């Protein structure tokens, strides 16, 4: 097999894995979802793995949202909220930051990579920052081995 | 021995003092950690501060949560992901309030059972006081003297 064919095959596998991957992005309505909307209007391509979930505030997100998303098939979860101090509901994003940190510690203590849950903050006027965050998450999660789930406790 | 702090200081001041029936005054408190939701109502209602909210969370408490309980869904999700049991409790960030393991100090507990009544998850059981034969024998002369 020639090196070109191997390289093409590898590229195919990478692309297939990227399409199979799923990253759930919980986006705050006031900031991150507006940024996502603006980036979509500008026709900026997002990784095929990302699934956007609209939430009224990142402070709505609790450990159950993040862990059940991971348990039911997501490879990574990200929470995108407002910049620190700019939450529409005053301190929802501070709560979200601490909850995501807590979920990371939970995952780490049971042997799962903590990078699978991450918090990003951005303002509504920063679509490039949102796109960069999604690409960053996709790259980090893509580099990790597939997430093992036990079927017994379904 | 279930005694108040005040009672304990009085006993320490008196040489050779002992409270005959102290061992049998309170209920026996049994905590079921896997059912606990960390709401802290036991800590709020406790008259002696025997129960209090800690700074850490024991992950195995969540892994052991039974299906029908309030944390059953979260426990099931974590069990699906878990590769091994947690070896040590995790530190909890300041804004996370309910995921904290309650610290229960038996030495300060009166056995009054207030926490069992306050618990919304039914995680605390107050069993009736166990009066042993020895206690009963000690009590009888005191009562006869009265």
pLDDT digits (tens, 9 = 90+) for B44-74: 999 999 999 999 999 999 999 999 999 999 9
- Partnered with residue A77 across adjacent β-strands are A24, A117
In a domain, residue B115? The reply is yes
* pLDDT classification of A1: cutoffs 50, 70, 90: low
CATH number at residue B107: 3.30.70.20
In a domain, residue B4? The reply is no
Residue A65: helix, strand or coil by DSSP?
Answer: helix
Residue A29: helix, strand or coil by DSSP?
Answer: coil
Q: Which positions in chain A have a beta carbon within 8 angstroms of at least one beta carbon in chain B?
A: 63-64, 67-68, 70-72, 94-95, 97-99, 101-102, 105-112, 147-151, 153-154
List all residues 6 or more positions away from B9 whose beta carbon is below 8 Å from its beta carbon: none
pLDDT above 80 for A2: no
State phi, psi for B30 to the nearest 5 degrees: -115, 120
Q: What is the mean pLDDT of residues A59-63?
A: 95
Q: What is the mean pLDDT of residues A47-62?
A: 95
Cα separation, B142 vs A16, whole angstroms: 84
- Please report the domains of chain A, with CATH numbers, ordered by start residue: 17-143 (3.40.50)
Whether residues B83 and A154 touch (CB distance < 8 A) is answered with no
In a domain, residue B48? The reply is yes
In a domain, residue B140? The reply is no
Residue A89: helix, strand or coil by DSSP?
Answer: coil
pLDDT above 60 for B21: no
* pLDDT classification of B140: cutoffs 50, 70, 90: very low
Q: What is the pLDDT of residues B29-47, one digit of tens each?
A: 999 999 999 999 999 999 9
Q: Residue B51 is part of which domain span?
A: 25-128
Residue A50: helix, strand or coil by DSSP?
Answer: strand
In a domain, residue B143? The reply is no
Judge contact between A23 and A50, C-beta under 8 A. yes
Least-confidence region, from A64-78, B70-84, B123-137: B123-137
Distance between alpha carbon B66 and the CA centroid of its chain, in Å?
20
Predicted TM-score (pTM) of the model is 0.81
Which has the closest alpha carbon to B126: B110, B115, B113, B107? B113
User: How many separate domains does chain B show?
Assistant: 1
Residues from chain A that touch B81, judged by Cβ atoms under 8 A, are 67, 70-71, 107, 110, 112, 147, 149
How much is the pLDDT for B131? 59
In a domain, residue B90? The reply is yes
pLDDT above 80 for B14: no
Whether residues A94 and B86 touch (CB distance < 8 A) is answered with no
pLDDT above 90 for A88: yes
In a domain, residue B137? The reply is no
Q: What is the pLDDT of residues B85-129, one digit of tens each?
A: 999 999 999 999 999 999 999 988 888 899 999 999 999 999 987
Q: Which positions in chain B have a beta carbon within 8 angstroms of at least one beta carbon in chain A?
A: 57, 59, 62-63, 73-74, 76-88, 90-96, 99
In a domain, residue B13? The reply is no
């Amino acid at each position: 097999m020639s090196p070109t064919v191997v390289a093409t095959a590898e590229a195919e596998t990478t692309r297939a894995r990227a399409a199979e991957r799923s990253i759930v992005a919980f986006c705050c309505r006031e900031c991150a979802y507006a940024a996502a909307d603006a980036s979509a209007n500008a026709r900026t391509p997002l990784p095929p793995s990302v699934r956007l979930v609209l939430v009224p505030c990142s402070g709505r997100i609790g450990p159950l949202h993040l862990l059940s998303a991971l348990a039911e098939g997501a490879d990574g979860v990200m929470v995108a909220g407002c910049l620190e101090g700019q939450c529409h509901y005053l301190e929802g994003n501070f709560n979200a930051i601490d909850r995501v940190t807590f979920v990371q510690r939970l995952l780490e203590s049971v042997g799962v990579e903590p990078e699978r849950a991450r918090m990003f903050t951005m303002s509504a006027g920063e679509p490039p920052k949102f796109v960069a965050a999604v690409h960053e998450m996709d790259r980090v999660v893509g580099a990790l081995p597939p997430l093992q789930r036990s079927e017994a406790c379904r | 021995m279930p005694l108040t702090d005040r009672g304990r200081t009085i006993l320490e001041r008196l040489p050779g003092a002992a409270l005959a029936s102290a061992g049998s005054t309170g209920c026996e408190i049994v905590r079921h950690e896997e059912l606990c939701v960390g709401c802290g109502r036991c800590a709020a209602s406790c008259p002696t501060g025997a129960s209090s909210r800690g700074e850490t969370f024991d992950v195995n408490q969540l892994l052991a949560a039974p299906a029908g309980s309030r944390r059953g869904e979260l426990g099931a999700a974590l069990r699906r992901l878990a590769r091994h049991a947690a070896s040590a409790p995790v530190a909890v960030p300041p804004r996370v309030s309910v995921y904290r393991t309650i610290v229960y100090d038996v030495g300060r507990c009166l056995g009054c059972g207030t926490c069992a009544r306050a618990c919304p998850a039914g995680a605390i059981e107050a069993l009736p006081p166990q009066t042993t034969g020895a206690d009963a024998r000690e009590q009888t002369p005191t009562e006869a003297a009265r």
